[in-house]
Amino acid sequence: MPRIRPATLLAAFAIVAGSAATIALADTQKGKAMPTSITASQPAATIANAFMPDGYREIARRAVSVDRQKAELVRYERVDRRNAGLGGEHFSTVISHDGRLKGFARIDLDLVGGRLPSREDTQAIAMDFLRKAAPDLLTGLKISWIEPHDEPLRVTRNGRTEDLSLTGMKVKMRNSADGLWMWVIVGADRKVMVFERDIDWIPFPGRRGTEKWLHDSWLVENGHALRAAE
């Protein structure tokens, strides 16, 4: 199983206007802090939003297909519009039609450059998260590796655009019950930064089969434009 690395974000991260695949906007609300404690009995949105940074608001919501199953993508960006748009700071969730949390991504500038937890601490944090957020995965879980992992982030500072790497510790796992992959990425703040589950891998020619709705580079490559609310 080759290691999946995110594609380098270049100028393609400019927002693609006028696309028929534009994410439908929902009414926006100011992001509010959620409780940091979660339990397996809570709804998927509540579990995911417990990891959303303060000062974010919902800017887009749309129906999507994940391995031919209905789901919903919701995207939040900073209220102050810092590094807004595809490639920038965001908190995004994907929840299946039956209410299962398929994943979330917390791509925030405040996580860049911090000290990462050890592999042992990363595993402990990841397992604690899965016990609460996805306990059904624990029975057949097999850890493949635990290593640093980069997520791309585009920022604008002093009028200049920069491409940065947001590094976390990734626990890559496989569900032996169905052969699908999953991972938890822990950020420098020792909280889950990215979670994805039920990832189908196509052995030949060797690529991910499951859609990458949480990844801005994939949205751009596939023509899914984002028009954020003003």
Per DSSP, the residues of 92-103 read EEEEETTS-EEE
Closest by CA to 32, choosing from 59, 55, 58, is 55
Does residue 151 register a pLDDT over 90? Answer: yes
Q: Are 174 and 183 in contact (CB under 8 A)?
A: no
Tell me the average pLDDT across 35-47.
77
How confident is the model over 185-194, as pLDDT tens digits?
999 999 999 9
Cβ contacts of 199 within 8 Å, gap of 6 or more: 180, 181, 182, 183, 208, 210
Tell me the average pLDDT across 120-147.
96
Query: Domains of the chain: which residue ranges?
Result: 11-221
Does residue 29 register a pLDDT over 80? Answer: no
